[in-house]
Structure 1
Amino acid sequence: MDLSDVCSLCLSLPGAEETTPFGPDALVFKTGGKMFALTIPDDFPPRLNLKCDPARAAELRETHAGITPGYHMNKRHWNTVLLDGSVPSALVRELILHSHALVVKSLPVAVRRQLDGGAGKDSGKDP
């Protein structure tokens, strides 16, 4: 999975937006105002910081040389994934979805409902 594919996938997720809060060199993908992915497009090889469940983060680091503790991030909750082909594309995709899901889960209920298109008790739609 190359950086273009990563950016497209990130932006396709519910509520996702691309921002540059750390300056023009760093792309940050957020949902509900919270970051779920960060990359610096000019890095070589490209790499992607993703939020991850702490136990799974440790396991991934042990089993994949291309996954390391989050660069400039809370290393318990973030991994850096090299986009040099050493991590299978299917796993990169899964980790992006996992990161987004963790962030969505941490959002207030009202924000989660907005991301779900208003589904829930108060909307009259089935959850």
Structure 2
Amino acid sequence: MDGETMQERAALRSNELPGAVLEHPFGPEFEVFKVCGKVFMLISDLRGTPIVTLKSAPADANVLREAYPEIAPGYHMNKKHWITITGGGSLAPELLDDLVTESYLLVVEKLPRRLRPVAPETFGRRA
């Protein structure tokens, strides 16, 4: 990923998303990214392996797990709605960016309209 780790890339993408904040409620080794108080991404290590855990639509999660060996059911999360990505695989950086964005939008679309920092149906789409 051009000198950056998968975790760094995911965090950089998160920093570009309106209203996204980083918190450390479980200690400094767990980075928890939220929008309006709701989690959309977790970054940590699992037995020395870097991981990124993201929300995913169930149908998309199934397809991703079948297509990429580095994508597994969400570690310590609802296996139907979350995926965990491990580093060192062949996952394209642009796909990681898209997965972070999609996780963020899945959370935003469940927020009351008045709290949404973006319109999830149009955010990031070209006119």
The answer to whether TM tops 0.5 is yes
Once residues 57 and 41 of structure 1 are traced to their aligned partners in structure 2, the CA distance between those partners, rounded to angstroms, is: 21
Q: Give 1:107-122 correspondences, 5 Å limit.
A: 107-112=111-116, 115-116=117-118
1:32 alignment partner, one of 12, 32, 36: 36
Gaps of 5+ in 1: 118-127
TM-score, with structure 2 as normaliser: 0.83
Counting aligned pairs with the same residue, the percent is: 41
CA offset at residue 5 of structure 1?
A: 2.1
Q: Please say if 1:15 is aligned against 2:12.
A: no
What residue in structure 2 maps to residue 97 of structure 1? 101
Larger Rg: 1
CA offset at residue 87 of structure 1?
A: 1.5
Amino acid at match of 1:75: K
Once residues 86 and 28 of structure 1 are traced to their aligned partners in structure 2, the CA distance between those partners, rounded to angstroms, is: 24
Higher helix share: 1
TM-score, with structure 1 as normaliser: 0.83
What residue in structure 1 maps to residue 71 of structure 2? 67
> Residues 95 and 116 from structure 1, CA distance in 2 versus in 1: closer, same or farther, beyond 3 angstroms?
closer
Provide Cα deviations, 1:39-65, integer angstroms capped at 9, x if missing partner: 116864311000000011011101110
What residue in structure 1 maps to residue 123 of structure 2? none
